[in-house]
Amino acid sequence: MASDVKNESRSNLGLQRWIAIASSILLIAKFTAYYLTHSVSILTDALESIVNVIAGFIGLYSLYVAAKPKDIDHPYGHGKAEFVSAAVEGTLVLSAGVLIIYSAVKNLIYPIEIHKLDLGIYLVGSTAIINWVLGAIALKQGRKNNSLALQASGKHLQTDTYSTAAIIAGLILISITHKVWIDGVVAIGFGCFIIYTGYKIVRTSLAGIMDEADMELLEKMVDVTEKNRKENWIDIHNLRVIKYGNVLHVDCHLTVPWYLNINQAHFEIDELSKLIRTNFGETLELFVHSDGCLYSQCHICIKKDCPVRQHPFKQRVDWTLDNALQNEKHSLKDLQE
């Protein structure tokens, strides 16, 4: 598993390096377009790209830190650096949105004549295409490797593409109607969109820093274990998942027949670990505590050849998100709730 984590970290770091370099080149292209046109819409797009460049290098550094191996001071690794990076990036995006709206309102009050719209549209359009491709690659790899930093970068780049497309549409409209005020209106709309995007990035990063439960991931994990349940797995409870960068730390309790010896109980834990890794990737750490069953659980135990059964089987308890998260063994009351 260590080698898989190391390879993914290197891959993430390499892609983020290219994103940072590309963002710097695209920033120059956008400011060139602004210099040629004097369009406040293009200026706001360029200002947002400054954030992308800063965010790209912050993301690069965070991935460098996150790729460091565990040590005595950081027994769970350095993956939390990605959440901090995303929080900073989101804050910068929010700030850019406010600045963009300010510049747009100022332009509405004191309009500036626009020049060479056609050349500006070509330059800005080319940056949109490049941003879209880079963003799609970053999002795909970020989701694959559970890298919040790469996902944040991908969202920035694709958000930049959407906003640039809106700006191009506005510039085309200006060239047709010769209404300069459209430039400011488009920029204001763009600024509002950027603020919303920044809020979502900050919200996601703070959730990671605070170890907020990922209910969608937990529900999928419970569903997988329920569908592949073994007869010695009487219940799974106290399930928790914590994200550290691209590594998932999974904790849970697995109830098995009380008479199994240590080796037999450990075998069941190994089987559960294999199942989860098969469905959620090798880059995870699984900590499973084995519990012995209670005689009161005979009513829900699906083991057919149990040599010590004290009560007849009544009904199977399906594993759900609710009973898997609780810190108690399953019983008949789970059927009544």
Q: Could you report the per-residue pLDDT of 34-51, keeping only the tens digit for each?
A: 888 878 778 777 877 776
- Residue 229, Cβ neighbours under 10 Å: how many? 18
Q: Is 183 exposed, middle or buried (0-12, 13-18, 19+ CB in 10 A)?
A: buried
Computed over every residue of the chain, the mean pLDDT equals 80
Window from 127-131, 148-152, 303-307 with minimum mean pLDDT: 148-152
Task: Inform me whether the pLDDT recorded for 137 exceeds 90.
Answer: no
Task: Inform me whether the pLDDT recorded for 272 exceeds 80.
Answer: yes
CA–CA separation, 112 and 107 (whole Å): 7
Locate tokens 């996150």: which residue? 66
Residue 109 CB partners (closer than 8 Å, separation 6+):
none
Which amino acid does the sequence have at 53?
A: V
CA–CA separation, 115 and 147 (whole Å): 42
Task: Inform me whether the pLDDT recorded for 1 exceeds 50.
Answer: no
What's the rounded mean pLDDT across residues 150-154? 74
Q: Report the chain's C-alpha Rg in angstroms.
A: 27
Q: Residue 325 is encoded by which pair of tokens?
A: 């998260």
Q: Residue 109 is encoded by which pair of tokens?
A: 């009050």
Give the DSSP H/E element, type plus range, for residue 217.
Answer: helix 215-227
Same fold, 2-209 and 215-336: no
Question: Which one has a higher pLDDT value, 6 or 296?
Answer: 296
What's the rounded mean pLDDT across residues 250-278? 92
- Distances in whole angstroms, Cα of residue 284 to Cα of each of 25, 86, 110, 131, 207: 36, 21, 56, 31, 19
pLDDT tens, residue by residue, 21-31: 887 888 888 88
Query: Residue 190: pLDDT band by 50, 70, 90 thresholds?
Result: confident
What's the rounded mean pLDDT across residues 241-253? 76
pLDDT for 283: 63
Window from 11-25, 54-68, 121-135, 272-286 with minimum mean pLDDT: 54-68
pLDDT for 265: 93
What's the rounded mean pLDDT across residues 80-90? 72
Query: Residue 305: pLDDT band by 50, 70, 90 thresholds?
Result: confident
- β-pairing, 247-256 vs 284-292, is parallel
Task: Inform me whether the pLDDT recorded for 16 exceeds 80.
Answer: no
- β-pairing, 247-256 vs 235-244, is antiparallel
Question: Which one has a higher pLDDT value, 119 or 319?
Answer: 319
pLDDT for 123: 86
Domain boundaries, the chain: 2-209, 215-336
Question: Where is mean pLDDT largest: 40-54, 110-124, 185-199, 317-331?
Answer: 317-331
Question: Which one has a higher pLDDT value, 99 or 148?
Answer: 99
Q: What are phi and psi of 239, to 5 degrees?
A: -80, 130
Nearest to 81 by CA among 64, 58, 62: 62
Task: Inform me whether the pLDDT recorded for 67 exceeds 70.
Answer: no
pTM, two decimal places = 0.57
Task: Inform me whether the pLDDT recorded for 253 exceeds 80.
Answer: yes
Most distant CA pair in the chain, distance: 89
CA–CA separation, 184 and 101 (whole Å): 9
Give the DSSP H/E element, type plus range, for residue 155.
Answer: helix 148-177
- Residue 219, Cβ neighbours under 10 Å: how many? 13
pLDDT for 80: 66
Task: Inform me whether the pLDDT recorded for 8 exceeds 70.
Answer: no
Locate tokens 């690659």: which residue? 137
pLDDT for 2: 47
| CATH number, span 2-209 | 1.20.1510.10
- Distances in whole angstroms, Cα of residue 305 to Cα of each of 106, 266, 309, 313, 335: 79, 20, 9, 12, 23
pLDDT for 286: 83
What's the rounded mean pLDDT across residues 67-80? 63
Which amino acid does the sequence have at 150?
A: L
Query: Residue 223: pLDDT band by 50, 70, 90 thresholds?
Result: very high
Pick the CATH number of 215-336 from 3.30.70.1350, 2.40.30.10, 1.10.510.10, 3.40.109.10: 3.30.70.1350
Q: Residue 184 is encoded by which pair of tokens?
A: 């400011």
- Residue 67, Cβ neighbours under 10 Å: how many? 20
